[in-house]
Amino acid sequence: MDTAQAEAPAQAIEDVARPGSDRAAAIRALRTRLSLLGDTGEGALERAEHLVGLAERFGSHPFTPLEQARRLLGVDRAAFAATLDLFGRIPELATAVQRAPEGKYWTNTILPLERTGALDAVVHGRPAFPYSVGLYPGPTCMFRCHFCVRVTGARYDASVLDEGNAMFASVIDEVPDTQPSTVYFSGGLEPLTNPGLGELAARGGRRGLDMTLYTNAFALTDRTLERQPGLWSLHAIRTSLYGLNDTEYEATTTKPRAFRRVKENLGSFMAERAARQAPLRLGLNYIVLPGRADRLMDLVDFVAELNEHSPGRPLDFVTVREDYSGRDDGRLAADERTQLRDALRDFTAYAAERTPALNIDLGYALESLRAGVDAELLRITPQTMRGAAHPQVAVQVDLLGDVYLYRESGFPELEGARRYIAGRVTPTRSLHDVVREFVERNPHIEPRPGDEYFLDGFDQVVTARLNQLEQDIADGWAAHRGLLGTGGTA
């Protein structure tokens, strides 16, 4: 058998969970694979069909408990256990799950977390330094975005900056050497309103940390960069883009003429980055707001115009997300869904033509939608929230040293958010101490209606995955919990 002949069956298996794939070809390929594994007995065809069924199920419904998957296949526990063992011995099936419409859940979040052991630390109640630590250094923000949960007028007093920055420095110093990508700067409030941010970035750079800044870029001026040269030590800057002209920007942020300033800042930054030959990556986060799907083509033109400031060093990436706020079920209306699907296809095709070096990440639901599968965001409710959250996976630290359990709770004066503070970092109490004491105390924070909005998309995925793993273990599937991961089938 030549290489092409050998690769064809593997490809059929790897693509089986994609829309329009050749299911029959995958089943034939799996029967061949099973025979190579010594499974030539009666029922081999049915086992191959069950393997395909598992790949399809977890490729489109990643958080399915294994017991539910068993019932959907209609097999007894012994047969299902044998199927799970076979699934783990055929790596192309794991690839099929990751290439499926909901594969971004696996590749962007679930599997990276599995590899660190952070999820098992939560499941088994073991203290661990968080996989992700968000430092929220901004004392204020110049925007008032309509979708932001920030309390209007809420800010941190300038008098806390020195102690707060010293506390952030101590957190940076305690990050394990094995976790270089753990820390990022975000908020809460705008990080660049903290005049000490550059020194914090430089401190992390000296430690070899790959730190990312999330910013609105309004203050990413030449003057800021002159005053805070440590910002060049960052690994990446992600700019939240709130529109593609001044009118859209003002409608979203209430700040007049903000768009032109952000655009000028980004262009100037790209030119300076190229002149310095700085390795720092630059990208945009763009939210598709209701009624603006057709603006995606203009987003490509915007990127192309930015690239003119630095032809040899273009913009690195764009992440595109959807805004489902106000939709109780997390679903788009049929006509809006069709419009957005078509816009995404046109957008990616146009970007490949006009900005070929640009890396585009459509995230969880939009990647599914572009593939022609109905997009529905994961929805965690107060009933499915976890009483002790997941501090071994992620925490956020504000200027006061308060350690928040969810990414959208770290705003000053936000109603109900203080219940989700795990503790406070002080000169005598490290972040690791706060997490350890919280985990050992194992409190139960009773969720209230509306608390689900403290969870961003990442928190929702982590919560759903942990609920799934614990259900699998409770149902007697600990050896295979989560299908892909450290339970024996990765």
Burial of 152 (0-12, 13-18, 19+ CB in 10 A): exposed
Q: Are residues 366 and 229 in the same domain?
A: yes
Q: Are residues 141 and 265 in the same domain?
A: yes
The residue segments making up the domain with residue 308 are 126-370
Query: Residue 398: inside a domain, yes or no?
Result: no
Domain edge (last residue) among 306, 339, 370: 370
Domain edge (last residue) among 340, 370, 400: 370
* Domain CATH for 228: 3.20.20.70
Q: What's the pLDDT at 487? A: 52
Given a cut of 90, is residue 97 above it in pLDDT? yes
Tokens at residue 180, please?
A: 């270089």
Q: Are residues 61 and 179 in the same domain?
A: no
Confidence of residue 323 (pLDDT cuts 50, 70, 90): low
Read off the pLDDT of residues 205-216 as tens digits, 9 standing for 90 and up: 999 999 999 999
Confidence of residue 44 (pLDDT cuts 50, 70, 90): confident
Query: Residue 223: inside a domain, yes or no?
Result: yes
Query: Residue 113: inside a domain, yes or no?
Result: no
Q: What is the dihedral of CA 479, 481, 485, 486, to 10 degrees?
A: -40
Q: Residue 1, Cα to own-chain centre: how many angstroms?
A: 42
Mean pLDDT, range 237-251, rounded to an integer: 90
Q: Are residues 331 and 194 in the same domain?
A: yes
Read off the pLDDT of residues 125-155 as tens digits, 9 standing for 90 and up: 999 999 999 999 999 987 776 666 666 678 8
Given a cut of 90, is residue 164 above it in pLDDT? yes
Mean pLDDT, range 269-290, rounded to an integer: 93
pLDDT greater at residue 422 or residue 252: 422
Q: What's the pLDDT at 187? A: 87
Given a cut of 60, is residue 58 above it in pLDDT? yes
Query: Residue 196: inside a domain, yes or no?
Result: yes
Q: Are residues 327 and 184 in the same domain?
A: yes
Query: Residue 335: inside a domain, yes or no?
Result: yes
Q: Are residues 168 and 303 in the same domain?
A: yes
Confidence of residue 339 (pLDDT cuts 50, 70, 90): confident
Query: Residue 375: inside a domain, yes or no?
Result: no
Hey, how many other C-beta atoms are within 10 angstroms of the C-beta on 443? 12
Give percent above pLDDT 90 in the chain.
73
Q: Are residues 135 and 230 in the same domain?
A: yes
Q: What's the pLDDT at 356? A: 95
Q: Are residues 26 and 168 in the same domain?
A: no
Query: Rounded CA gap, 488 and 484, in Å?
Result: 8
pLDDT greater at residue 9 or residue 182: 182
Query: Residue 441: inside a domain, yes or no?
Result: no
Query: Rounded CA gap, 488 and 490, in Å?
Result: 6
Mean pLDDT, range 371-376, rounded to an integer: 65
Mean pLDDT, range 106-116, rounded to an integer: 94
Q: What's the pLDDT at 169? A: 98
Q: Are residues 331 and 233 in the same domain?
A: yes
C-beta separation of 359 from 238 below 8 A: no
The count of structural domains within the chain is 2
Domain edge (last residue) among 355, 370, 385: 370
Q: What's the pLDDT at 91? A: 94
Given a cut of 80, is residue 1 above it in pLDDT? no
C-beta separation of 362 from 344 below 8 A: yes
Given a cut of 80, is residue 73 above it in pLDDT? yes
Nearest to 112 by CA among 461, 478, 435, 361: 461
Q: What's the pLDDT at 425? A: 98
